[in-house]
A and B are shown apart, each in its own frame.
Chain A
Amino acid sequence: MADYKNEFGWFAPKPTVEKKIYSLKAVAVGLGIFLVVFGAPLLLNMGQVHPVPQPSLDTPAIQKLAEKERQCVEPTEWMRANHMQLLWDWREQVVRTGERYYTTSQGKKVLASLSNNCMECHSNKSQFCDQCHNYVAVAPNCWGCHLPKEQNVAKAEGK
């Protein structure tokens, strides 16, 4: 047995600890439970195919537009990546500065309003907004106050 230096500088025989797992059964059971609990989401969803979300553009307001004018306030690609930031900026701009219009990159002036502009065209929240939001599991808190105006459309289309 080799000599061993502890923190006080004295020499003492190195203590020996038996290398073994104590109460192997309990450890194994615990490990098993851990694996089941944390692995469940993976296991349950394994092999399932989630279709890529297809937000629908089929609303009366969009259909009414001529093919050439069928464009959001900014290009679709940009909107897909940045709509949340845009809405956030609109919110600050309208509430804090009172400026209610937004000038698009094409120089067009549009009303900066979720309910009174976005949702006029996208009057199908469940088929448009919710499609991607559910897919990526985000819950925007817009709808606690702002109204999606979806019922109106359902009624109008039901006629």
Chain B
Amino acid sequence: MGINRRDFLKLAGLLGLGGKAAFELVLPGEVEAAVARTEATGTRWAVVVDMRKLTDKVAARCIEACHSLHNVPNYLEPPDPKLALSEDLKNRWQIKWIWTDVYEHAFVGFEQDHKWDKLQGMNFLLLCNHCDNPPCVRVCPTQATYRRPDGIVMMDMHRCIGCRFCMAGCPYAARSFNWRDPRPYIAKINPNYPTREIGVVEKCLLCEERLAQGQQPACVEASGGALIFGNLNEENSPVRAALRAHYTIRRKPYLGTNPQVYYIV
């Protein structure tokens, strides 16, 4: 691939093209590369959220752990009061890797009259589902979003051109776009992890940088047992044990994305 993000954008702009059309012309044949599926052997990471242990306080701890580690800007409560935003901009610019929302919003399409009354209003902890059949990967014209053999839906920020097709494709709102330079809105920058630039999309990467060092994801570590992480292909892994012992639900499984974050309710 002898072309970088900057040159690609320039060239596409010059040709008056957008998205896939630009890519087909500049680098023909690169788009339809396979959306590879995981083999049943090897590693398949997954997360189980135990809603019985997840209080609002635990959720806040998980969010704080993730967002401070990964330099996620805070547009809702900027570190400098001078940077405060209007409600409208807060909504539009917000960036989240992991967040909470109530059952009615998070599990649309699951309504079952009174059977699940107890779930109404319950705050669920939400993150990228690292889907087995990820629509975001399918629509990404540059393969900036792609699927690793271990199931992580990974992002190559160097290659993202900010077309936001993936945000339209993801049915879980797991992706956010950088409408502006995020650095002023990061309270304390962690120098060991990059920030992002204006014009790229970001999301949870399942702490792949921590997994590489044999650590658990930061949110799992901070959750005190409410989040369970492990390899689905391993018979005795904690996630398999949790799935065997409990009834779990997933977000919008009827869409065929095969999400890999499970909720014990």
The residue in chain B whose Cβ has the minimal distance to the Cβ of A100 is B212
Q: B196 at interface (Cβ–Cβ under 8 A)?
A: yes
- Given A91-B158, A95-B158, A98-B212, answer yes or no on A116-B197 (Cβ-Cβ < 8 Å): no
Q: A147 at interface (Cβ–Cβ under 8 A)?
A: yes
Q: A141 at interface (Cβ–Cβ under 8 A)?
A: yes
The residue in chain A whose Cβ has the minimal distance to the Cβ of B159 is A95
Task: Tell me which of A100, A141, A152 contacts B191 (CB under 8 A).
Answer: A152
- Interface 1/0s, chain B 195-219, versus A by CB < 8 A? 1110000000000100010000000
Q: A126 at interface (Cβ–Cβ under 8 A)?
A: no
| Bound Cα distance A152, B194 (Å) | 16
- Given A141-B6, A147-B189, answer yes or no on A98-B148 (Cβ-Cβ < 8 Å): yes
Q: A96 at interface (Cβ–Cβ under 8 A)?
A: yes
| Bound Cα distance A95, B160 (Å) | 13
* Chain A residues whose C-beta falls within 8 Å of the C-beta of B6 in the assembled complex: 141
Main SS at interface, chain B: loop
| Bound Cα distance A144, B154 (Å) | 20
| Bound Cα distance A114, B189 (Å) | 17
The residue in chain B whose Cβ has the minimal distance to the Cβ of A113 is B192
* Chain A residues whose C-beta falls within 8 Å of the C-beta of B192 in the assembled complex: 115-116
Q: B157 at interface (Cβ–Cβ under 8 A)?
A: yes
Q: How far is the CB of A150 from chain B (nearest CB, A)?
A: 10
Chain A interface size band reads 10 to 19
- Interface 1/0s, chain B 4-18, versus A by CB < 8 A? 001000000000000
- Interface 1/0s, chain A 126-159, versus B by CB < 8 A? 0000000000000001001111010010000000
The residue in chain B whose Cβ has the minimal distance to the Cβ of A147 is B191
B191 pairs with A149, CB closer than 8 A:
yes
CB within 8 Å of B: which of A80-113?
A: 91, 95-96, 98, 100
B156 pairs with A145, CB closer than 8 A:
no
B194 pairs with A146, CB closer than 8 A:
yes
| Bound Cα distance A31, B98 (Å) | 63
* Chain B residues whose C-beta falls within 8 Å of the C-beta of A149 in the assembled complex: 191
Task: Tell me which of A96, A116, A141 contacts B156 (CB under 8 A).
Answer: A96
Q: How far is the CB of B217 from chain A (nearest CB, A)?
A: 16
* Chain B residues whose C-beta falls within 8 Å of the C-beta of A115 in the assembled complex: 191-192, 194
| Bound Cα distance A98, B195 (Å) | 19
B194 pairs with A147, CB closer than 8 A:
yes
* Chain B residues whose C-beta falls within 8 Å of the C-beta of A146 in the assembled complex: 194
Task: Tell me which of B154, B196, B212 contacts A145 (CB under 8 A).
Answer: B196
- 27 examples of A-B residue contacts, CB within 8 angstroms: A91-B158, A95-B154, A95-B156, A95-B158, A96-B146, A96-B156, A98-B148, A98-B208, A98-B212, A100-B212, A115-B191, A115-B194, A116-B192, A141-B6, A144-B197, A145-B157, A145-B194, A145-B195, A145-B196, A145-B197, A146-B194, A147-B189, A147-B191, A147-B194, A147-B195, A149-B191, A152-B191
Q: Which residues of B contact A (CB under 8 A)?
A: 6, 146, 148, 154, 156-158, 189, 191-192, 194-197, 208, 212
Known: A95-B158, A100-B212. 5 other contacts (CB 8 A): A91-B158, A98-B148, A115-B191, A116-B192, A145-B157
